[in-house]
Structures are given as structure tokens and as C-alpha cells.
Amino acid sequence: GHLPDRPLIDSLLLDAWERYRGLDEGAVADYIPALAAADPSLFGLCVAEVDGTIHAAGDVDHEFSIQSISKAFVFALVCQERGYQEVLERVGVDNTGLPFNSVMAIELNDGHPMNPMVNAGALVTTSLVPGASAAAKWEYIQNGLSAFAGRRLALDVQVYESEAATNQRNQGIARLLQSYGRMGFDPLETTDVYTRQCSLLVSARDLAVMAATLADGGVNPITREQVVDPAVCIRVLAALASSGLYEHSGEWLYEIGMPGKSGVSGGIVTIAPGKGGLATFSPRLDVAGNSVRGKRATRYLSGVLGLNLFASA
Ligand code: GLN
């Protein structure tokens, strides 16, 4: 199938925005102090088609830190560099069934991080980024995520410093993984690079373009740059289907039927292979750390835009 005609997409996006703008369930993340200051009323929805056509409703140009959504794109870059087969062995693609920052998940699996979309797997992934120093790895990530977005992404210094001062749990996870021989680089330096990658500033518009790049075999819809190979995109989407919404990934697939990735600042990206990317932004989260309005709006749009991958027509 194809996406509906453009004016219909615009009006369905506006419908979704009007339906869920009043939904006030959930709470803004506050375990990273700087995130607690987010305006909970912000709500943006953006679709980027693989040909570069953009559809927008609400606050699509408001910038926020990308947080866990970075995990999907850094994973793609590392698969591109090291080969997705090696990364499968080192990081895995199976859901933990446990929260994104679980230490127990590591212990229950003999020190294996399980998948790249939880903190443990993301820390291993970041440790495998090319570069001999933390600075070189950070530069590689900033360049790579910017290539996905089609514009230069900047660091939110305030969010970075706030998380760097309070990320002892992630430091502990990296140390634990090191004790199991899982890390490809110094654990504390890796945690610092990971904290920076989570603090890159994006808008819903950027995220839609990044998702559309994964939807089109790695070709950015705006710049036409081949950022990663089609074979990498296929595996990234599989990893997202299993684990993109943490322990609620099964429920997400059941309701929405597409690979997606959420982050604690309130973004969610969803990929409609061959068609485009959908991004939502709204800071109030459910208990698993997924945006409440984002989930509801994506479910609605998956249905009315005909995006569910399990549908036969
Ligand atoms: N930087 C956050 C952390 O490591 C990202 C978590 C998330 O978005 N789920 O805790």
C-alpha cells in the first residue's frame, strides 16, 4: 500500500493533534533534573515521507534532548561499521522484559546486555563506536546523527551537565558490563559519551526525517545521503520491533504494528518501511517512560494512515 494523498495526511495529523492535546495523564521525567523543567503542554506530530515531503501539526520545531531515541541511530552506525552480525553477538536483540535501566536484566543473563535499546546494550554499543578516544567517538556520533537528521545537531549543555552529575546508575551499569568483559572501551568514558549522545538537541521534525531515513534503506529524504546500508536498516527495525518501547514493546507492536523508539524527554519515532517516518513529541510519560500522548497519537495514525505492517491490505 501507499500513504494516503497529501492533503489527507495533513488533516489526519491535525485530527490526531486535536484528539490528544487535552490528554494529561502521565508525568514529566524528573530523575534527570534538567528534564523536570519541560513544558508538559508541548505537543508536536510530524510525518516525513521518503520523498522529503513533510507534514506537521503542533510544536514540531521545539527542540528537546533526544535521550534514548539516540540508541537506535548509534546502533545503526555501529552495525554499519562493525557489521550487524558481530553486533548481534555482542549486544543482542532480545527484549529484557524489564525497565530500561535494569541492573537485574544484566545479572539474569550472565552479563549479556540483551538488546541495544536499553541502557546496558546502548552503553556496549557506544563503546563500539569507531574512535580511539572519547572525543573521537563523540565526534563520530554527532556527525552520524546529524547525517540522519540532515542538519547539524547541537548538544544541550545544560541537560548534559545535569545528567552527567546524576548518572551514577549508568556508570554502575557500565562497570558491571566491564566486569563481564562486555565493554569495548573504558566504561566511565563510554558513559560520558553516551550521556552526550542522549543530550543532542532535536525537534519532532528532525526525528521524522531521521525515521524516514531508516524507512528508506538509509537514504536521508532531504539530503539524499546514503547514511547506512539497507541491510543495516532492516536489522535496526527488527531490533526496534523487539525492544524499542522497553518492556512495553510487545504491547506497542500489538497496538501499532510498526517499529518505534521512545525517549524519556517525550519523543517517539515510528518507522513505516518504504513510506516514511512519524515523530511525536509530548513530555508526559507512562510508568515505562513512554510519552502518553505520543503512544495514543501514533496508534491513531497507524490506523487511519494504514501503516500497520501486519495488515494484509
Ligand atoms: N539518558 C537517559 C538515561 O540513560 C535515557 C533514558 C531514556 O530515554 N529512556 O537514563
What pLDDT does residue 283 have?
A: 98
CB 273 within 8 A of CB 125: no
CB 201 within 8 A of CB 63: yes
Is 65 assigned a catalytic role? no
Question: Pairing mode, if any, of strands 267-272 and 260-262?
Answer: antiparallel
Q: How far is the CA of 289 from the centre of ligand 1 (A)?
A: 9
Q: Is 279 in the same domain as 212?
A: yes
Q: Is 293 in the same domain as 218?
A: yes
- Ligand 1 pocket member 283 (CB < 6 A): no
Q: What is the ipTM of this complex?
A: 0.96
pLDDT band at 313; cut points 50, 70, 90: confident
Report the CATH number that the domain containing residue 162 is assigned in CATH: 3.40.710.10
Of 143, 171, 198, the last residue of a domain is 198
Of 154, 172, 198, the last residue of a domain is 198
> Would 15 be classed as within a structural domain?
yes
Of 181, 198, 215, the last residue of a domain is 198
Backbone CA torsion sign across 269, 272, 277, 281: negative
How does pLDDT run across 254-301, given as a tens digit for each residue? 999 999 999 999 999 999 999 999 999 999 999 989 999 999 999 999
What pLDDT does residue 260 have?
A: 98
Mutate-to-test residue for ligand 1 from 119, 162, 199, 247, highest number of ligand atoms within 8 A of CB: 119
> Would 311 be classed as within a structural domain?
no
77-104 average pLDDT score: 96
Q: Is 298 in the same domain as 233?
A: yes
> Would 1 be classed as within a structural domain?
no
Nearest CA to 218 out of 269, 260, 277, 259 is that of: 277
Instruction: Give the list of residues 6+ apart from residue 13 with CB closer than 8 angstroms, or none.
Output: 45, 46, 47, 55, 56, 57, 301
Q: How far is the CA of 203 from the centre of ligand 1 (A)?
A: 17
How does pLDDT run across 7-63, given as a tens digit for each residue? 999 999 999 999 999 999 999 999 999 999 999 999 999 999 999 999 999 999 999
Is 31 assigned a catalytic role? no
- Ligand 1 pocket member 67 (CB < 6 A): yes
Binding residue ranges: 68, 119, 163, 170, 194, 246, 264
Q: Is 193 in the same domain as 212?
A: no
Instruction: Write out the residue range of the structural domain in which residue 250 sits.
Output: 6-65+204-304
Q: Which amino acid is at 153?
A: L
> Would 310 be classed as within a structural domain?
no
Q: Is 120 in the same domain as 170?
A: yes
Average pLDDT, the chain: 97
Residue closest via CA to ligand 1's atom 4 equals 119
Instruction: Give the list of residues 6+ apart from residue 229 with CB closer than 8 angstroms, or none.
Output: 80, 217, 218
Q: Is 74 in the same domain as 162?
A: yes
Q: Percent of the chain having pLDDT more than 70?
A: 100
What pLDDT does residue 17 have?
A: 98
pLDDT band at 107; cut points 50, 70, 90: very high
Q: Over 90: is that where the pLDDT of 311 sits?
A: yes
Cα angle: 264, vertex 267, 272; to 5 degrees: 130
Mutate-to-test residue for ligand 1 from 30, 31, 32, highest number of ligand atoms within 8 A of CB: 32
